[in-house]
């Protein structure tokens, strides 16, 4: 910076002005140096003009503040400094280089142009020239990969490798921590026994009732077919075949260590056994007879939803039968003399409205001995090979051409019934063309 600011005093001012300015600057620096003895260092004053600052920078290096110089001695030392062999503040080599620079900066009319303080280095010029040759596309390509510095997205490959290694270790440890937490969590769960049961579970203690076949439209409960048209009723038969596949081929179910046995009211299954569902007890509601859909006497299968650990409470005596139970079902229960054989969840189906009861016709239930779900299938304990019991309901001769609203209901002491909330029962419609 000092070399840039050193200017030829003669090229800036006439000799008379130079002498006056020189002694003014010397006087200024003498006062400033004396003030430094008692005051801390302060930034240079901005009250001086630009010319005064340039002259002060030139004369600063040779002024000896430790000596008391007279005005004439200071002027002589400025003109010729024997110690530094400098004339007018410059050495001989500095004068030769400065004169060449002045000639280059001089205008054609001989007037001196004010020099620029900043001078670009060769490296700066090279960088600016390269930047000027860059297009916008090259600029963005260099941001992705700079072939000069070998940087990728502003980072060297080693930096990217360190970052990748850090995040690999970080996320690896995070995944390991999550895996350990999940492992500890699953140790508290049993794959076959639910943690929350009966009243503590969302399902509760009131099992629901379902029916098959189901319409394709889940918002509808209408079973509509034409018995004389095989193509028309075949989708309903196929729906039942898909649902009953495990019942006809129980070998498809994973049995594990469980054993299947033929149960009865006098022979309940043991802890490692499950009861068999005998498809031969379904009578005419079998796949060989197309579930009687071709005779316009459709079979509807009812299934009770599974609730782990739930045990039904049975109607063991005649005086326990509810008043709203259908007469046909009451008569059937009263015909069973053994209280042991009464341990069933009973089922009844009838029309919802008086007109529906008239149009529905006669109904047959399978298995015929129970008209419900035998009690030896309960409680449900999620054993391997277990199949839910089914009740096949055959509508022998419903009136064709009329939509019949059907309600099927299950009966046990601890099954609550509500038609509005559809608890303890199921609703569907029949329409036979």
Q: Do 109 and 207 belong to one domain?
A: no
pLDDT at 198: 85
DSSP string computed for 330-370: HHHHHT---SGGG-EEEEEEEESSHHHHHHH--EEEESTTT
Tokens 């005051």 locate to: 39
What's the number of domains the chain is made of?
Answer: 2
Residue 142 lies in a domain: no
Q: Do 270 and 397 belong to one domain?
A: yes
pLDDT at 212: 92
Q: Do 428 and 289 belong to one domain?
A: yes
- Indicate the pTM of the whole model: 0.60
pLDDT tens digit string along 28-39?
656 666 665 544
42 lies in which domain range?
2-119
Residue 208 lies in a domain: yes
Mean pLDDT in consecutive groups of 10 residues from the start of the chain, 433 residues: 41 47 59 56 53 60 52 74 71 61 52 50 59 64 78 83 92 95 88 84 88 86 88 92 89 68 86 87 90 91 92 90 90 88 92 91 89 90 88 92 92 90 90 89
> 342: domain CATH number?
2.60.40.1660
Residue 110 lies in a domain: yes
| Peptide linkage before 379 cis (omega within 30 of 0) | yes
Q: Which of 56, 91, 119 is the last residue of a domain?
A: 119
Q: Which of 92, 119, 146 is the last residue of a domain?
A: 119
Residue 346 has which token pair? 């009973």
Q: Do 221 and 361 belong to one domain?
A: yes
Residue 381 lies in a domain: yes
Residue 218 lies in a domain: yes
pLDDT tens digit string along 81-100?
777 677 776 666 666 655 55
Q: Do 98 and 211 belong to one domain?
A: no
Calpha distance 345→413 (Å, rounded): 9
**Angle, CA 258 vertex, CA 254 and CA 264 arms, to 5°:** 115
Q: Which of 95, 119, 143 is the last residue of a domain?
A: 119
């Amino acid at each position: 910076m000092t070399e840039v600011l050193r200017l030829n005093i003669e090229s800036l001012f006439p000799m008379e002005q130079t002498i006056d300015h020189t002694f003014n600057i010397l006087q200024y620096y003498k006062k400033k140096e004396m003030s430094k003895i008692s005051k801390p260092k302060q930034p240079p004053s901005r009250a001086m003009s630009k010319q005064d600052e340039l002259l002060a920078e030139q004369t600063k290096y040779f002024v000896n503040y430790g000596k008391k110089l007279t005005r004439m001695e200071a002027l002589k030392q400025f003109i010729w400094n024997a110690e530094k062999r400098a004339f007018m503040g410059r050495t001989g080599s500095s004068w030769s280089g400065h004169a060449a620079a002045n000639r280059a900066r001089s205008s054609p009319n001989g007037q001196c142009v004010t020099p620029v303080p900043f001078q670009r280095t060769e490296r700066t010029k090279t960088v600016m020239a390269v930047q000027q040759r860059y297009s916008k596309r090259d600029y963005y390509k260099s941001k992705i990969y700079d072939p000069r510095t070998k940087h990728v997205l502003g980072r060297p490959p080693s930096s990217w490798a360190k970052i990748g290694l850090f995040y690999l270790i970080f996320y690896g440890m995070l995944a390991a921590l999550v895996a350990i937490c999940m492992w500890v969590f699953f140790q508290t769960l049993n794959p076959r026994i639910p943690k929350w049961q009966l009243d503590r579970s969302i399902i509760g203690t009131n099992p629901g009732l379902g029916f098959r076949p189901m319409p394709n439209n889940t918002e509808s409960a209408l079973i509509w077919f034409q018995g004389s048209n095989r193509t028309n009723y075949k989708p309903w038969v196929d729906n039942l075949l898909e649902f009953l596949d495990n019942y006809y081929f129980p070998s498809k179910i994973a049995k594990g260590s469980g054993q299947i046995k033929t149960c009865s009211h006098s022979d309940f299954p043991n802890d490692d056994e499950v009861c068999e569902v005998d498809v031969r007890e379904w009578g005419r509601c079998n796949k060989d007879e197309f579930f009687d859909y071709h005779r316009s006497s459709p079979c509807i299968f009812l299934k009770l939803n599974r609730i782990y650990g739930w045990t039904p409470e049975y109607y063991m005596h005649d005086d326990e039968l509810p008043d709203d139970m259908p007469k046909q079902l009451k008569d059937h229960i009263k015909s069973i003399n053994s209280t042991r054989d009464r341990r069933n969840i009973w089922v009844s189906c009838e029309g919802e409205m008086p007109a529906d009861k008239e149009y529905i016709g006669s109904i047959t239930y399978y298995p015929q001995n129970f008209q419900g779900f035998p009690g030896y299938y309960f409680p449900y304990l999620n054993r391997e090979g277990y199949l839910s019991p089914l009740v096949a309901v055959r509508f022998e001769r419903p009136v064709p051409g009329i939509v019949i609203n059907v309600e099927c209901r299950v009966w046990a002491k601890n099954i609550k019934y509500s038609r509005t909330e559809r608890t303890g029962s199921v609703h569907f419609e029949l329409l036979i063309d």
